[in-house]
Structure 1
């Protein structure tokens, strides 16, 4: 498969931690992705200003323009988001709020990756509701859990553990098939 035929997947980690299970699983995913996928890790969560509808005029804040350009240039999104207080962390909800007005977001295929061994289903349920409201194309058959112990879990750990690595590889293969058939 040529590089031009590769599908670009923007990976969004919902945690601001320097070493988070969610970011680590996405970093590992870049190494394990099938040749048909190009996974790009978004690195600007902390730089986004707090959402204010008054700021949705031209020109948008630079960090928001960068986020929207990356979303527009992607064939799909892969989201790994932690759960805080039974919900989506504020910084990640802020990112989603900035995407509400993004004209290239509706219909965007989105797969959810749950990196919690304990399930953290409240945040996943909330994300699904938010993304449905935003008119994302949720890839529920692709989405899944890669059970990780939580904090202190880095990319090397994910790659070295058979169960999480196998779950991640299976999820990425499902994602590749879903994007090939789209």
Structure 2
């Protein structure tokens, strides 16, 4: 019997909110992921310094080095990012700026998870453009919307609602297929 490869997926929530629908959907995803996926939630967004190209030399700021190591150690990224003022929130754009110089980022498979019931298509479009510019491999077949009610939504409420739960499970199965581990 052949054991399927297990793929490590780094989950990036684009919100700094203490109670975030984007973080909640990623926490729920960890519980619903097929056995072939190991979902790891990155929790250092708030600790990253503001991007400055002068700081991109050795040694990197420790929080940036940890971020890059987490990205390097993953087979793919799963991003759930809110929309703010029709764009990507500044803190999350800052995280992406730190990854531009990450040597192992080009070609990294990335799936986008939209947790907004209203669509937040401006942020999703901006993320796609930024990630294409960074040479990410966008996994469109594994990306999608899991509409949640918004602020105040937690992991338990995502898991308790049949529609978002089912859509999240389907998205995770597509991600496993895209990574060749279904």
Find runs of 4+ consecutive structure 1 residues off by over 3 angstroms. none
Computed over aligned residues only, the root mean square deviation of the Cα atoms, in angstroms, reads: 1.1
Instruction: Report the secondary structure of 2:141's partner residue.
Output: coil
1:153 corresponds to: 153
Matched, 1:17 2:10: no
Distance 1:50 1:70 in 2: 19
How far did residue 57 of structure 1 move?
0.8
- For 2:72 and 2:167, the matched residues in 1 are separated by 28
Query: What's 1:74 paired with?
Result: 74
Task: Determine the structure 1 residue equivalent to 2:174.
Answer: 174
**Equivalent residue pairs, number:** 180
CA distance in 1, matches of 2:5, 2:124: 31
> Is 1:128 paired with 2:128?
yes
User: What SS is found at the alignment partner of 2:152?
Assistant: coil
- CA deviations on 1:50-93 (whole Å, 9 max, x unpaired) are 00000001110000000000000000000000000000000000
1:32 — aligned with what?
32
The residue aligned with 2:115 is 115
Q: Could you list the runs of 5+ residues in structure 2 that have no partner in the other structure?
A: none
Deviation digits for residues 154-176 of structure 1 (CA, Å, limit 9, x no counterpart): 00000000110000000000000
Q: Which whole-Å deviations, capped at 9, do the CAs of 1:30-52 have from their partners, x for residues lacking one?
A: 00000000000000000000000
1:141 equivalenced with 2:108 (yes/no): no
- Cα distance between partner residues in 2 of 1:117 and 1:64: 32
Q: Which runs of 5+ in 1 are unaligned?
A: none
CA distance in 2 between counterparts of 1:5 and 1:69 reads 21
Question: What is the CA distance between 1:129 and its match in structure 2?
Answer: 0.0
Structure 1 residue 5: Cα displacement = 2.4
Q: What SS does the aligned partner of 2:12 have?
A: strand
Show the counterpart of 1:162: 162
Q: Please state how far the C-alpha of 1:141 moved relative to its aligned partner.
A: 1.1
